[in-house]
Structure 1
Amino acid sequence: MIRLDTSPTPPSPMGSAKGPSVHLRVDRLTYGGHDLFRDLAIDFPGGAWSCILGPSGVGKSTLLRLAAGLETGGEVGPNTSATLPGGASLAGHFAHMAQSDALLPWLSVLDNCLIGHRLRGKISAGARKRALSLLDDVGLLNRAKDRPGTLSGGMRQRVALVRTLVEDRPVVLMDEPFSALDPPTRLRLGDLAARLLAGRTVLLVTHDPLEALRLGHRVLVLGGRPACPGDPMIPEGPPPRAVDAPTVIAHHAPLLTRLSQALELEDLSPESGKETPA
């Protein structure tokens, strides 16, 4: 299930092309009487990619769902919110790409890419041109008239990526956006997204340490129960970085160590084994 934000895009609260900072506050999120999050506050800098890693079930996807205002299946505390500078709501400012591609089977690839514009009542010539250009960028321009049922899983994920990019929002929430792609395509589309979303505020959930180090301005490892991130890892230089960039190589082993420690915390938790989202 994915919710498309059908609000018109208001002017940026920052007054510039740079994406706004996002403050995520979770006073409590409970599943079956156990806290997944408690007294959690994270600031995501404006105009930067924040990559979130951690063990399966720690709550990475749930953080994005909370930011997007989507149902989590748990009991959410009353002071949980995602806000922009000045306390403004995130509504109308974000695009959300979930793990599921959620393509509508009766629409063409192109119409799926433009579903947000359709729901808002108007598909402009500019939006259509942008969608076709993005489909060309991801290698699917020749499939624009096809139905999703004729596509492979990796192709469907590329369509979902185009649908997210064509929304042209200052804040972008992406949950494993490249997981169904083969490694060379994953690298190429990661580079494409980094280029097209330069200056936007991006929250990226991934299980791939290399991807996080290539694309992230900041890398956060979520661990423990209740879950919280440690100090951010900040690779040097602008993304996207080459796979053999010195900063990527230098941070790779320490990041794997952090992930192993987060997994140990999860295993040692008295609430481990409880059924929670990713």
Structure 2
Amino acid sequence: MTSTAVADANVPAAAPTPESLAARCERELLSFPGPKTPEFVKAACAKVVKKDECVSAEGVEIYHYDKISKDPKAKKVLVFSLIHGDETPAGSVGRYWMERLEGIDPRNTWRVVPVLNPDGVKRKTRTNANKIDLNRNFPTKDWDEMAQKLWKAHTSSNPRRFPGQSGGSEPEVKCALKHIEDFAPDFIVSIHTPLKVLDFDGPSLKKKPKFDYLPWKSLGTFPGSLGRYMWFERKTPVLTMELEDRLPGTYQPFESLQDIIGSLTVFETDDSPAVPKKAAEPAAKKSSALPAAPAPGSR
């Protein structure tokens, strides 16, 4: 053996090159079920970025995708999918909207966070790595008084819905709050499964837009939920899409819904006497009382 060979044998193997954010985005999004167009996924993932605050409980970076409208009057739409890690179809819709936005000039500015709970996705669990339900961890005004009380009374301390020890404690929720602070959305979309409804926390609608794929139904809000935090406390409308566990064979319904959201955003966030924002205030006053027990599988 030559001295060079001996020297080479003593050189430690190089550490593997860390996967880029774009490569991880592409790998993760393409793994979700449903139709997909890889070249559009690749193009969208090439543009994802992350905020310094957006790291999961296990240190995984939480990326997002922006598509800026050219319209100076554009509203801003913020999308969260996979708040619950075991609701994989939610990620498929987040991916599709990113794909579609790559090919259009949208009337509104969109920010999509396709995987808010990467640790839960990895584990296939509703909760994050700390075993906390992120949609019960937003720091609503009634969190200290009601969050754990309701968890015990209405879910029999179901660990899948554990709200944590304090509101806003989880890094993924802190990431969502940073997006809300910096992006200042006019409208928020939260994608879940499996209740098969559209749930709108926002001003009363004289007539809800027609959407054949999912019926409109109010599910109510809970201490620590995104809907309560954003609409009842901050008057930013939240549309929660509850998908079926099985996706349709085409994404046409979600293309239509994305267009509906564009119209809703303009209509619902204007200070118009036809749609007074005070319409939902009576419901907000109920936050200190025990709401009805959540349905099985509720968001």
Relative to the length of structure 2, the TM-score reads 0.29
Of structures 1 and 2, the one scoring higher in RCO (CA 8 A, sep 6+) is 1
TM-score (norm 1): 0.31
In terms of fraction of residues, the more strand-rich structure is: 1
